[in-house]
Structure 1
Amino acid sequence: MALPWALAILSLLPLVSADSAHPECANLTGTPITNSSLDLISGKWFYIGSAFRHPEFIQWAKSVPSSVVYFTPNHTESVVYFQEYITHEDKCLYNSSHLDVQWENGTLSRNVLGVHYLAYVIPTKDPAIYMFAYYPEDKEKMGLSLYANTTQVTPEQMSEFHGAVKCMGLEVSEIISTDETKSLCGPLEKQHEEERKKAKEEAA
C-alpha cells in the first residue's frame, strides 16, 4: 500500500477538461508549469483540508490532524525537493525526497515502490494557497486538497476551495479539515530547522 503522504499528495491523475458551460471551473484544467508558477509553491505550506470519495483517502484524512510540507524547487534539475511532517494518529511521520517536474504537462511526479504517481497543481487566484486534485475522472476516487502558507485561511480563500470542490463534483460537506494545534511534529521540525541553520553558519 502506498505511504500516507503519497496518498495525500501524489496519487493524482491529469484533470479532465472543465465544462465550458461553467467558466468558473476553467482553472481546474491545469496549465503548463513555468519557473514563476513553480516558485509560487516554494517554502512552507500547511495542509488545511481535503474532500475525498476514495474510502482509503477518507480514512487517511481523518487520521491526519496536521501536516506541514516544505518545497524547494530546482529549475535546472527540473525537480522539487520536499520535506514533510505529518501527524498521523499518535505519531509524527517525516518524509524527505523530490518530485520530478513535467513542465509542459503541468504535473509533478514520483515513483513509489514501483508505482508512478502524477500530481496536477491547480492554479489559484490567491498565491497564498494552492490545491492538488485526485482522480477527477473517477466519481468513486476523486478528491481535492488545499494548502496555505498560514494555519488559518480567509473566507475568500476557503470560498475558492469550496468552488473548486463543487466544480469537481464533490460536496462542501465532504471536506475534512485539519487542526494545527494537534500537531506532534513541532519538536522534530524545530530540530531540523536548527540543524539547517547551524550547517549554513558552518558553511559561511
Structure 2
Amino acid sequence: MALHMVLVVLSLLPLLEAQNPEHANITIGTPITNETLTWLSGKWFFVGAAFRNPEYKQATQTTETEFFYLTPNLTNDTIELQESLTIDDQCVYNSTHLGFQRENGTLSKYVGGVQIFAHLIVLKKHGAFMLAFDLKDEKKRGLSLYTKKPDVPPELREVFQKAVKHVGMDESEIIFVDLKKDKCSQPQKQQLELEKESKKGP
C-alpha cells in the first residue's frame, strides 16, 4: 500500500512542475535525510490547508492560528512536536511525537490508536513545506502548508493553490488561517522575558 501511495504521488510530480517550474522545484516521495531533518528543526507556522477528510477539515476550521516547534531525534527516528494553537480565541498548548519513514519520505502520527501518514513535500526555496494526505482517496485527500515565517508571499500562496488543484481539489476548498487572531505569541514572549529575568538573579 505504501508503494502504491508513492507511485500515485510521483505520478503527480510532472503536473506540479510543468505548471509553473519557476516557482518551486517541488519534489514528492523524496527520502528524508539528516539534512532534511536539520532543515525541519525549529519554529514553523501553519498557513492553511485543503482537506476532504471531515475530521481534518473540522479541525482546520476550528483552528484560528497555529505555530509549532519541531525537534528531530536522529537516533530513534522521531520528531518532538510542540504546538501553540489559537482555538475559540484562546491559546492551547500541545506536545506529542511524530515518526518519520526515511525511505518513503513520510511523517506519521498516532491519533486514537491509528497511525496516520503524510508525504513530506519540501519547498526550500520558499522556506516552507507541504504535507500530502491520502491522495489516492478522492473523499479523504488533503494538502497542508507550513512556513518558517508568518508572512506568506503571494508567490508561495500561488504555488500552494496550484498544487491543490493538481491533486484533484478545488481552490475554494483551501482554508487559510488569520495570524492576526493569534493569542499564543504574546504570553510566550512574556514567559521568555520572565525566564531571562529569573536567570539574572537578584
TM-score tier (shorter):
0.7 to 0.9
Q: Which has the higher helix share?
A: 2
CA contact (8 A) 2:107 2:118 kept: yes
Cα distance change on mapping 1:18 and 1:193 into 2, 3 Å = farther
Partner residue in 2 for 1:98: 97
The number of equivalent residue pairs is: 189
List runs of 5+ in structure 1 lacking aligned partners. 1-12
**1:48-87 equivalences in 2 (<5 Å):** 48-87=47-86
* Post-superposition offset of 1:172: 1.5
- Quick one: structure 1 residues 57 and 100, their matched pair in 2 at CA, closer, same or farther if it must change by over 3 Å? closer
Secondary structure of 1:65's partner? strand
| SS across alignment from 1:61 | helix
Q: What CA distance in whole angstroms lies between the structure 2 residues aligned with 1:20 and 1:41? A: 22
**Percent sequence identity over matched residues?**
41
Who is 2:22 aligned against? none
Q: 1:36 to 1:198 in 2, by over 3 A?
A: farther
Aligned partner of 1:22 in structure 2 is: 15
**Per the alignment, do residues 20 and 79 of structure 1 end up closer, same or farther by CA in structure 2, a change over 3 Å counting?**
closer
Kindly tell me: are residues 185 and 125 of structure 1, through their superposed partners in 2, closer, same or farther at Cα, counting changes over 3 Å? closer
In the alignment, residue 11 of structure 2 is paired with which amino acid?
A: A
Helix, strand or coil for the counterpart of 1:18?
helix
CA contact (8 A) 2:79 2:99 kept: yes
- The answer to whether the 8 Å contact 2:118/2:134 transfers is no
Equivalent pair of 1:28/1:164 in contact (CA under 8 Å)? no
Conserved 8 A contact 2:44-2:69: yes
Q: Name the residue aligned to 1:122.
A: 121
Per the TM alignment, residue 111 of structure 1 is displaced from its structure 2 partner at its CA by 2.4
Q: CA RMSD in A?
A: 2.7
Q: Give the drift of 1:20.
A: 7.0
**Runs of at least 5 residues in structure 2 that lack an aligned partner in the other structure:** 19-24
TM-score in terms of structure 1 length: 0.80
Match in the other structure for 2:157? 158
CA distance in 1, matches of 2:194, 2:115: 32
Amino acid at match of 1:22: L
- How many Å apart are 1:77 and its aligned residue? 2.8
1:20–1:47: structure 2 CA closer, same or farther, 3 Å change rule? closer
**TM-score scaled by length of structure 2:** 0.80
Name the CA distance, whole Å, in 1 between partners of 2:178 and 2:16: 33
Relative to structure 1, the CA distance from residue 39 to residue 198 in structure 2 (aligned partners, 3 Å threshold; closer, same or farther) is: farther
Larger Rg: 2
Q: List per-residue Cα deviations over 1:84-138 (Å, max 9, x = no partner).
A: 0111123222111221221112122232332112232112252511111121111
